[in-house]
Amino acid sequence: MLFEDLSLSKSIQRAVFEEGYTSPTPIQEKAIPFILAGKDLVGCAQTGTGKTAAFAIPIIHNLHKIVGSSKKTKQIRCLVVTPTRELAVQIGESFDTYGKYTNLRQLTIFGGVSQVPQVDQLKKGVDILIATPGRLLDLHKQGFVDFDHLHFLVLDESDLMLDMGFINDVKKIVKLVPTNRQTLLFSATMPMAIRELADSFLTKPEYVSVTPVSSTAEIIQQQVYFVDKSDKRGLLYHLIRNENLSNVLVFVRTKHGADNVVKALKKQGVNAEAIHGDKSQTARQRVLDSFKNKEITVLVATDIAARGIDIESLPYVINFDLPNIPETYVHRIGRTGRAGNGGISISFCGKDEEVYWKDIQKLIKVNVKTIKDHPFPWKETVPNPDAKPDLRNKKKQNGKNNSRKSEASKKNKKRWY
């Protein structure tokens, strides 16, 4: 299928063509016709599959037909709710890209920055509003956001909103918007809670899914290093220096861990930065832009912060900490090997993470290459065959046990008599 087969407006086809795309991705091919037809939709697709364009392109097409080249006061006709600032910015860029030859105006709003410029833009009028839940509800409460003319509601990265505790905010937002809307829900995974959400918010939705979450791209070279937790930083620096790695995305479990890894790398002269929820929006965007421009060698990120990172031709992903949810591993390594490019994923497995690695292997069903030739292998604890048992401690312990039995016997006698 080609984009021209989707009966999109000439202005959108021109914008898509200028981006170098001729054929839609699988999620786009499945989702766009349903959205153009006005159907509610649930889409299961992970980052990197072209999911954002799958809803942005048909929404722009339909809104362009409604609004046309009208110069009248603009009203919010499409609302996209997404959990993080980075994702909001990324979605806003997509609407700008594919709608650049239309008269549509989009605005992205999020917390962590002054609301004044956002309010000024809202007063001027926008067609498409992309927002994080907290800032959206704040501005609506203050009377700056009006949903009366809304046609489209998009709930993006719904599983992440669930993980981040935004579901109650989402439910409040759904109650505020008109019931005669078209609703689209997208999620990287489809747990029961998300299915229940879809059942309560959507009307007879179509379900589309691509790339089962258990699959990992064949073009990604997966490797695992079994390394003690205390040696992980040393191994990371060893690989960066000896393998001459650059443009590396490193995943860690916690914000504190991300800062510590960056601190250790900087001591070794590696240009590294962290991105996580405790960083200001300005700092996060600055770091992300620097990484995209290859001004930073290593970007260390938590899973939540990394959801908004969309970089083509990312060569290396390193799991410094293994995720305790196997599906998260698939999402992480899926950030490399995109658009037909090769990629390498490297995982560090500590002894305390061995159970996580076994769960990951069960899910992906791929024989991942184990790298044994490195300077930081697991330190095996070998018992000393010449060591003699401490009989004195054993006698003391037996004495305590006998004493406890005697006390218990006395209590039982009292209880029964």
Kindly state whether residues 55 and 125 are assigned to the same domain.
yes
Q: What pLDDT does residue 213 have?
A: 55
Kindly state whether residues 254 and 164 are assigned to the same domain.
no
Q: What are 138-143's contacts with CB under 8 Å, separation 24+?
A: 138/111, 139/109, 139/115, 140/176
Please provide the DSSP assignment of 258-300 as one string: HHHHHHHHHHTT--EEEE-TTS-HHHHHHHHHHHHTT--SEEE
Q: Domains in the chain: how many in total? A: 2
Residue 114 lies in a domain: yes
pLDDT in tens, 28-82: 999 999 999 999 999 988 766 788 999 999 999 999 888 866 566 789 999 999 9
What do you get for the CA distance between the two ends of the chain, in Å? 88
**Boundary residue ending a domain (158, 180, 209):** 209
Q: What pLDDT does residue 415 have?
A: 36
Residue 229 lies in a domain: yes
Kindly state whether residues 96 and 234 are assigned to the same domain.
no
For residues 311 and 291, the answer to whether their CB atoms sit within 8 Å is yes
Q: What pLDDT does residue 339 have?
A: 53
Kindly state whether residues 205 and 273 are assigned to the same domain.
no
| Whole-number Cα distances in Å, 134 to 55, 81, 110, 128, 304 | 23, 10, 8, 18, 16
If phi > 0 it is left, if psi is from -120 to 50 it is alpha, else beta; for residue 125 that is left
Residue 404 reports pLDDT greater than 80: no
**Boundary residue ending a domain (209, 234, 254):** 209
Residue 341 reports pLDDT greater than 90: no
Residue 150 reports pLDDT greater than 60: yes
If phi > 0 it is left, if psi is from -120 to 50 it is alpha, else beta; for residue 261 that is alpha
| DSSP 8-class letter at 4 | G
Residue 392 lies in a domain: no
CA distance 307 to 303: 6
Kindly state whether residues 308 and 276 are assigned to the same domain.
yes
Residue among 164, 215, 160 nearest 189 (CA):
160
Specify the CATH number for the domain of residue 279.
Answer: 3.40.50.300
Helix, strand or coil, per DSSP, at residue 222: strand
Single-letter amino acid, residue 125? G
Q: What pLDDT does residue 235 have?
A: 96
What's the token pair of residue 413? Answer: 């006698």
- CA max distance for the chain: 96
* 390 or 1, higher pLDDT: 1
Residue 386 reports pLDDT greater than 50: no
Kindly state whether residues 200 and 125 are assigned to the same domain.
yes
Kindly state whether residues 186 and 226 are assigned to the same domain.
no
pLDDT in tens, 324-340: 888 788 878 877 866 55
Residue 406 reports pLDDT greater than 80: no
Q: What pLDDT does residue 383 have?
A: 42
Kindly state whether residues 112 and 227 are assigned to the same domain.
no
Residue 127 lies in a domain: yes
Q: What is the b/e burial string over 78-94, where b = at least 16 CB atoms within 10 angstroms of the residue's CB?
A: bbbbbbbbbbbbbbbbb
Kindly state whether residues 356 and 271 are assigned to the same domain.
yes
Residue 257 lies in a domain: yes
CA distance 107 to 165: 24
Residue 332 lies in a domain: yes
Residue 93 lies in a domain: yes
Single-letter amino acid, residue 323? P
* 292 or 14, higher pLDDT: 14
Kindly state whether residues 224 and 181 are assigned to the same domain.
no
Residue 403 lies in a domain: no
Please provide the DSSP assignment of 94-145 as one string: HHHHHTTTSS--EEEE-SSS-SHHHHHHHHH--SEEEE-HHHHHHHHHTT--
**Boundary residue ending a domain (162, 188, 209):** 209
Kindly state whether residues 168 and 241 are assigned to the same domain.
no
Residue 20 reports pLDDT greater than 90: no
Average pLDDT on 395-416 reads 44
Kindly state whether residues 14 and 163 are assigned to the same domain.
yes
Over its C-alpha atoms, the chain yields an Rg (Å, rounded) of 27
pLDDT in tens, 209-243: 886 555 665 678 999 999 999 999 999 999 999 99
Average pLDDT on 155-159 reads 91
Tell me the residue range of the domain where 285 lies: 220-370
Q: What is the mean pLDDT of the chain?
A: 85
